[in-house]
Chains A and B, each alone.
Chain A
Amino acid sequence: MTEIVCRCEDITEEDILDAIDQGYTTLEEIKRVLRCGMGPCQGRTCIPLITRIVARKTGKSLAEVSRPTTRPPLQPLPLSVFAGEEE
């Protein structure tokens, strides 16, 4: 059975487990290798799911799996919104 965990980049649970087997044991590395968390959802959908997979596979608690930095903007916004404002 194939379970998609990252809908922006079409990444399955199997892809995550493979990455961990290759030594990419942190969310920071998985993000860089598979682009999870870098698509339009910015990790809202996928990061909690992947955190669980990493915790289960590496035997850590959820709290021990550090999460990538949340970046602004909080929601996608058009460039024209920022271009239009005065200093």
Chain B
Amino acid sequence: MREEADVVVIGGGVTGCGIAYNLAKKGLTDVIVLERQVPCVGASGRCGGGIRQQFTTDANITLAMESVRLFEQLSVELDTDIEYEQGGYLIIAYEDEVDQFKRNVRLQNSLGLESRFITPEEAREIVPLLNIDPIAGATFCQTDGHANPFRVVHGYARKAQKMGVEISKFTAVTGIVVEDGQIRAVKTDKGTIKTNTVVNAAGAYSRDIASMVGVSLPNKPYRHEILVTEPVEHVLDPMVISFKTGVYFSQQKHGPIIGGIGDPEEPSSYNISASLRFMKRMARTVVELVPAFGHLNVLRQWAGLYDVTPDAQPVLGWTEGVDQFCQANGYSGHGFMIAPKVTELIAELIVDGKPSMPIDDLNLKRFEGEITGEAYVVG
């Protein structure tokens, strides 16, 4: 492991590896990524792989739209098939959601996103197996979709390594040395690395990293569970989700249905065990929407952590009080889908001093004032 680096990135998920790749692409290759286990072992490797642009805040919609533009070329850029498919996102609307969803579509349209409100019958044309009896409509955006998170993270990591970045696995950060508000070094269980720039991309553990230098993040960890079925023939184009029930599911390129459901009673914790309660709630909700899926065999269930902020938007950029300490966390369950743009912007912030799109509204400072948040969180 190197003893000195221009930039130390903490966390080997899609954000950490993506930032390392984008720094190297801009010519800054003296970078080390510290990963406590192996890349993609945390939330990035546990998520459903969905890529959605239908959000309710300007920041999330814009970051997601810009990310889709980058996802569209990522297989070529990273020399690996990221299994990207634009089958759309179908957001189920129940009766009491219709008016709000129509307003959300107007906001999305005003930012250039081609989402639309559709009837139950139109929804069934997109998903022929869908039971439309309980639904009042849906919103749909064809350019939403999904990709394989393993391929994306490993793609970023490999390409970054080829350009000179070091990825140090099984390396846990134990402390950050700060003198007079300046970062001097990062301490790990494998030795100390001299640096003056640190990126905090540790997902749900980012608040622990920040607290090492006395910075308090409002982020909280929440378990979210997910399951995968046996692979079957192609029957489902879009990701289907509902904010009312918290369910989401899609069919991956090699055949399995993968999906999860949020649980309003889940307390904040670092628990990532799998529960029977989830399995029952998920099965009931999915089988009501797509009765034919009752026949699918479940192969496996697991869980991961959402790193949730008070407004469900990420914490990005420099930190007051500690120079050159960059936050890239707090994704609240949608880090994978906005990673391509976010990681590019963070690299621009570090190398050029200024990102090509303003991210000031996403700075940690915003939690000092009044908060207006993202309403569309699922899973």
Contacts and interface: CB of A to CB of B under 8 A. Distances in A.
Which applies to chain B's interface (DSSP): helix, strand, loop or mixed?
A: mixed
B300 A79 contact: no
Contacts, number: 80
A20 to B, nearest CB: 13
A59 interface: no
B202 interface: no
B215 interface: no
Contacts of A40: 230-231, 297, 299
Nearest to A79: B283
Residue among B274, B284, B295, B301 having the largest count of chain A Cβ atoms under 10 Å: B284
B287 A80 contact: yes
B376 to A, nearest CB: 26
A80 B294 contact: yes
Interface string A35-66: 10011101000000000000000000000000
Interface size class of A (residues with CB under 8 A): 20 to 34
Nearest to B158: A22
Given A32-B150, A87-B280, A82 B298 contact: yes
Nearest to B45: A32
Given A79-B283, A83-B287, A83-B294, A38 B300 contact: yes
Contacts of B296: 78-79
B65 interface: no
Nearest to B291: A80
A26 B38 contact: yes
B302 interface: yes
B41 interface: yes
Interface in B272-330: 274, 276, 279-280, 282-284, 286-287, 293-302
The 4 A-B pairs with the shortest beta carbon distances in the complex, nearest first, are A80-B294, A82-B283, A76-B297, A83-B283
Interface of B: 37-41, 45, 150, 154, 158, 228-231, 254, 274, 276, 279-280, 282-284, 286-287, 293-302
